[in-house]
Structure 1
Amino acid sequence: MKITFITVGKTEDAYLKEGIEKYVKRLKHYTRLELVDIPELKNTKALTEEQQKSKEAELILKKVTSQDHLILLDENGLEFTSVQFANYINKRSVTSSANLIFVVGGPYGFDQSVYARANDKISLSRMTFSHQMVRLFFVEQLYRAYSIIKGEPYHHQ
């Protein structure tokens, strides 16, 4: 199983890049992880929020096949503890041959076409985080999930 993490825009702050790289490097011991940055749209002042979401949706959905399991990181998604998230990842890796694709949308969220294609929605928190911070939080939680699955001492409960 391969995990793909798609984000709209790129991480610019050096301290966040460093943290993301740290956990991506650690994750190589557990899974194949691909980070995909979809470029932010240009000249968006002439576009409505819906038009922007629609254009981002086209770019996101081009990266997804019919066999992929698409999970949106969305404020209205399921909330998990770290152990529950580890169980979710473990179940998906054992019961499915589909690749997991996690997606963080653009500044206005997801277009209806992306919601329609999604298999699941997960919320990292009820709080709102910057898109750059979500990237770090997600890869850390993914690393934590694998350390829980393997029974390693990273996670304390």
Structure 2
Amino acid sequence: MTIKLLAIGKTDNKNLSALIDDYKKRLGFYIKFSLEIIPDVKNSKNLSEEQQKQKEGELILKKLNPTDILVLLDENGKQLDSVGFSQYLQKHMNSGIKQLVFVIGGPYGFSEDIYNKANGKISLSKMTFSHQMIRLFFIEQLYRGFTILKNEPYHHR
């Protein structure tokens, strides 16, 4: 199985980018992982929230394969602790799917088309974080999840 994280817009902060790269490299020891950045929608200032979500949704859909399992990182999604998330990953790996795709949407969330296509939703917190910080938090939790599955000391139980 491979895991892909799709995110709208680039990471501007060099420190965050360095940390993201560090965890991406660490993840490579456990699973094939990729982070794919979808460029911000052009002329978004001239679009309504709905129009922007629609355009972002179209860009997200273009990045998906028909067999992908799509999971949205969404504030209204299911909340898991780190052990629960590792079990969630294991369940998907055991199911024989080819690719598990997680998506961080734009500033207004997801279009209805994306919600309809999604196989699930996960919330990382009830708090609100910047889209750039969520990338780091999510990739760190992926790494933590795999260390839990391998009984490695990174996650202290």
- Which residue does the alignment assign to 2:68? 68
Amino acid in the other structure paired with 1:57? G
**Structure 2 letter corresponding to 1:34:** S
- Aligned partners of 2:53 and 2:37: how far apart in 1? 16
Tell me the CA shift for residue 57 of structure 1: 0.3
Q: 1:156 and 2:156 equivalent?
A: yes
Partner amino acid for 2:17? K
2:109 aligned partner: 109
Partner of 2:19: 19
Task: Work out whether 1:47 is the aligned partner of 2:28.
Answer: no
Partner residue, 1:56: 56
2:94 aligned residue: 94
RMSD: 0.7
The CA distance in 1 between the partners of 2:71 and 2:22, in whole Å, is 23
- What CA distance in whole angstroms lies between the structure 1 residues aligned with 2:88 and 2:13? 30
Name the TM-score, length of structure 2 as normaliser: 0.98
Asked whether 1:4 is paired with 2:8, we answer no
Aligned partners of 1:86, 1:119: CA distance in 2, in Å? 18
**Greater Cα offset, 35-44 or 72-81:** 35-44
Is 1:120 the counterpart of 2:129 in the alignment? no
Q: Could you tell me how far 1:98 is from its partner in structure 2?
A: 3.2
Identity between Structure 1 and Structure 2 (%): 54
Q: Distance in 2 between matches of 1:10 and 1:95?
A: 32
8 Å contact kept, 2:2–2:100? yes
For structure 1, which segment, 2-11 or 40-49, has the greater mean C-alpha deviation from structure 2 after superposition?
Answer: 40-49
Following TM superposition, where does structure 1 have runs of at least 4 consecutive aligned residues deviating by more than 4 angstroms? none
**Cα drift, residue 96 of structure 1:** 2.6
Task: Write the letter of the residue equivalent to 1:124.
Answer: L
Q: Distance in 2 between matches of 1:95 and 1:41?
A: 35
The one-letter amino acid of 2:55's match is K
Give the superposition deviation at 1:144: 0.1
Structure 2 stretches of 5 or more lacking a match?
A: none
The match for 1:141 is: 141
Q: Does the 8 A contact of 2:24 with 2:139 survive in 1? A: yes
SS at 1:29 equivalent: coil
Q: Secondary structure at the match of 1:42?
A: coil
**Deviation, structure 1 residue 37:** 0.3
Does residue 1:37 correspond to 2:37, yes or no?
yes
* 3-state SS of paired residue (1:65): coil
Which one-letter code corresponds to 2:51 in the other structure?
Q
Give the distance between the partners of 2:94 and 2:16, measured in 1 at CA.
31
Query: What's the TM-score once normalised by structure 1's chain length?
Result: 0.98
